[in-house]
Amino acid sequence: MKKLLSLLICATLLTINAAALPTMGELTAKSAALYDANGQMLYEMNAEEPLQPASVTKIMTLLLAMEALDRGDVQLDTLVTGSAHAASMGGTQIWLKEGEQLTMDEMLKAIAVGSANDCAVAVAEHLAGSEDAFVARMNERAQELGCTSTTFVNANGLDADGQKTLTSARDLALISVELLKHPKILDYTTIWMDTIRGGEFSLANTNKMLKSYNGLIGLKTGYISEAGFCIATAAERDGMTLIATVMGAPTKEDRTADAAALLDYGFAHFAPYTPDLSAALLPLPVRMGQGETVAVQAEPFSPVVVAKEEAEQVTTEVHLPEQVEAPVQAGQALGEAVVKNGEKILLTIPLTAAEHVERLHFDEIYRAFLRAALMKQDS
């Protein structure tokens, strides 16, 4: 009987075999990346080069805000006060006044929809005490997410006085993947037009792809002259969410065209794949148990994205022992289902016990032995 160790990782995703796919058309941007919402890389072009992201920086500010909301550190009706520093921000803003208070909800709306630099700093100061302390959190979180080309220097991407925020198309995709784990963010990134300050100040989304691209759900645009036109965008179609990041496009139109081309490529050539686990979920015999079998369950997982051209090659291997020894605890690791494309592992799904099975006590074993002996005599 094969002994299997308890698994700590629910899913392991690898990159698609790009050589088996049609090539991407020419892009105008300096770098670009296409990922699915599970963090699976589908396409990259110069994706690890550190470049300035401009206001796309704010996806990290929004991520930290969403995480603070989830922890209960703040609520949507929490009042956030504008400081003199926040009010001094230039660029796109809502002209926040020193001492002015807006709810966290209004601040997030202004950041996500209107790309308000002043509100991004106000939220940063509220959550961390100062913008510098918040930036330290931004960089720490980036490292936790596996970002390798990222250095944040402010909360909004409005670089000035020698500042230079740096990140990459790949890193922006990883941050976007994490941001989309918070469904509340879509309440903001999908807004086309809205108001704050009791209807006195109008907001119009800087991401015009919301109206021009089918299924778009966000996320953030950016531009300063040093960075060019940048975007981290996401779209949902046919049960699949894709993230496209573009950095250093020459014009706004080029940025839109590149992002649309990436998403079009993804939806044309990839599809979500849910493995058939029927063979993995059959009851498993239990030795010395009060029940003869234990029900097997698969731990929650998301469909893996596969190239449509390779879908027929995908197989699922089930690794389970022939039987398990009682007692069995509910949730106990029993084995795994491995989804593969050839020799490449696409997804590993832990298989666990769906119920508890007690071990037979001595008197129960003795009675069972007597019954078996008597039945043998009667025959």
Active site residue 97: no
Distance, CA of 148 to CA of 170 (rounded, Å)? 9
Is residue 375 over pLDDT 70? no
Cis-peptide into 50, omega within 30 deg: no
Residue 125 has pLDDT above 50, yes or no: yes
pLDDT band at 19 (very low <50, low <70, confident <90, very high): very low
- In the structure, what pLDDT confidence band is assigned to residue 127 with cuts at 50, 70 and 90? very high
In this predicted structure, the answer to whether residue 13 has a pLDDT above a threshold of 80 is: no
Predicted local confidence at residue 23, as pLDDT: 81
Average per-residue pLDDT for the chain: 91
**Full-model pTM:** 0.85
Catalytic residue (choose from 55, 83, 149, 168): 55
State residue 6's pLDDT score.
Answer: 31
Summarised one tens digit per residue, pLDDT across range 135-167 is 999 999 999 999 999 999 999 999 988 889 999
175 to each of 82, 145, 150, how far by Cα in Å? 26, 7, 11
Q: Which of 83, 115, 168, 176 is catalytic?
A: 115
pLDDT in tens, 41-58: 999 999 999 999 999 999
Q: Which of 58, 149, 168, 220 is catalytic?
A: 58
Rounded to whole angstroms, the Cα distance separating 59 from 111 reads 9
Residue 55: active-site member: yes
Cβ within 8 Å of residue 311, ≥6 positions away: 271, 273
Closest C-alpha to 159, from 171, 149, 167: 167
Is residue 138 classed exposed, middle or buried when 0-12, 13-18 and 19+ CB atoms within 10 A define those classes?
buried
pLDDT tens by residue, 292-342: 999 999 999 989 999 999 889 999 999 999 999 999 999 999 999 999 998
pLDDT tens digits for range 162-210: 889 999 999 999 999 999 999 999 999 999 999 999 999 999 999 999 9
| 115: annotated active-site residue | yes
Q: 53-80 pLDDT, tens per residue?
A: 999 999 999 999 999 999 999 999 999 9
pLDDT-derived band at 7 (thresholds 50, 70, 90) equals very low
In this prediction, residue 370 has a pLDDT band, given cuts at 50, 70 and 90, of low
Predicted confidence at residue 162, as pLDDT, reads 84
Encode 281-310: b = buried (16+ Cβ within 10 Å), e = exposed: beebebeebeeebbebbbeebbbbbbbeeb
Tens of pLDDT along 217-252?
999 999 999 999 999 999 999 899 999 999 999 999
Give the pLDDT confidence score for residue 204 in this predicted structure.
Answer: 96
Most distant CA pair in the chain: distance in Å? 97
Structure tokens at 83: 């400081």
Q: Which two tokens stand for residue 371?
A: 């019954």
**6/111: higher pLDDT:** 111
DSSP string, 22-85: PPPPP--SSEEEEEETTS-EEEEESTTS-B--GGGGHHHHHHHHHHHHHHTSS-TT-EEEPPHH
Q: Report pLDDT for 21.
A: 63
Q: Are strands 31-36 and 240-249 parallel, antiparallel or unpaired?
A: antiparallel
